[in-house]
Amino acid sequence: MSHPRKLTSAKVLALLGAPAAAGALAGLLFALPVRAAEFSPAQKGEIEGIVKDYLLTHPEILRDVAAELERKAKAEENDARRAAIAHASKEIFNSDFQAVVGNPNGKITLVEFFDYNCGYCKRAMDDLAKLMKGNPDLRVVLKDFPVLGADSVDAAQIASAVRKQASGQKFWDFHQKMLTTKGKIGREQALAAAKEVGLDMAKLQKDAADPEIKDKLAGVLKLGEGLSINGTPSYVIGDEVVVGAVGYDELKKKIDAMGKCGKTEC
């Protein structure tokens, strides 16, 4: 009666057609289910033992595998976001339901999704101001993304009505007042900021009551969901989504690259 041959790690690698490298053992766990029919139960047990022993001796392989899985997941997420940007390009960059500040005819567009009650958005406002000042060819699109509760929704509704009276620098003045207001920002604070910049308050309140505003705000939230935006501030530049307050230097690097080669990385 014959017995299964004793398997060594080298034999296992050869049987699986893997490269003759120790790191390839990490892939055995994934390969075993696919090629299980080629091994006897005793051989499969030996293979599993070899893999276990090797990983216990070299646990850094698990770290490398985890890093590779994370890299792959990130790449897939970025591909999905690029596809979403291409599909919804008009709504992202040229919607009639957004504010445009900086150079309205600028060749480089930076889109910010923000919430007036977001502390990171408040701090990022200075980044935007500095970016616009340093780049006269920069067009900045501001999109209300009220995800932090009822006050944020109320503030976004008033801001949406403000855009019917104010654009460009005047809207930027309102926007700055909103983001420099301390504490919660809701309807009352938004109305006060609008009054400070000299808007027609009767018209503003009438415009704010338009039910279309709620529908369009819901559309922006859906747009953000399609881009896998899960926090504020988040940005779109070129075919890239940038999530989080990454800071002036990171945004400037991407803007400068867009000016040089039309991509966020040249």
Quick check: is 266 in a domain?
no
CA dihedral 7, 8, 10, 12 (to 10 degrees): 40
Domain match, 31 and 137 both: no
Quick check: is 80 in a domain?
no
Any long-range contacts for 225-229 (C-beta under 8 Å, 24+ apart)? 226/84, 226/87, 226/88, 227/81, 227/84, 227/85, 227/88, 227/92, 228/77, 228/80, 228/81, 228/84, 229/113, 229/145
pLDDT in tens, 216-228: 999 999 999 999 9
Quick check: is 175 in a domain?
yes
Greater confidence (178 vs 80) lies with 178
Among candidates 175, 171, 163, 67, which has minimal Cα distance to 114? Answer: 175
Greater confidence (77 vs 179) lies with 179
- Residue 99: which pLDDT band, with cuts at 50, 70 and 90? very high
- Residue 33: which pLDDT band, with cuts at 50, 70 and 90? low
Q: Is the distance from CB of 88 to CB of 225 less than 8 angstroms?
A: no
The answer to whether the bond into 233 is cis (omega within 30° of 0) is yes
Quick check: is 176 in a domain?
yes
CATH number at residue 227: 3.40.30.10
Query: Considering its fold, how many domains does the chain have in total?
Result: 2
Distance between CA atoms of residues 52 and 212, nearest Å = 61
Q: Is the distance from CB of 225 to CB of 164 less than 8 angstroms?
A: no
- Residue 63: which pLDDT band, with cuts at 50, 70 and 90? confident
Quick check: is 81 in a domain?
no
- Residue 7 amino acid letter: L
- By residue range, what is the domain housing residue 22? 9-58
Domain match, 214 and 100 both: yes
Domain match, 247 and 167 both: yes
Torsions phi, psi for 187 (to 5 deg): -60, -45
Quick check: is 101 in a domain?
yes
**pLDDT above 80 (res 32):** no
Domain match, 99 and 25 both: no
Quick check: is 1 in a domain?
no
Domain match, 154 and 213 both: yes
pLDDT in tens, 146-194: 999 999 999 999 999 999 999 999 999 999 999 999 999 999 999 999 9
Domain match, 106 and 210 both: yes
Domain match, 151 and 221 both: yes
Domain match, 22 and 100 both: no
Domain match, 41 and 170 both: no
Domain match, 106 and 190 both: yes
- Residue 260 amino acid letter: K
Domain match, 13 and 95 both: no
Domain match, 51 and 158 both: no
Which pTM value belongs to this model?
Answer: 0.74
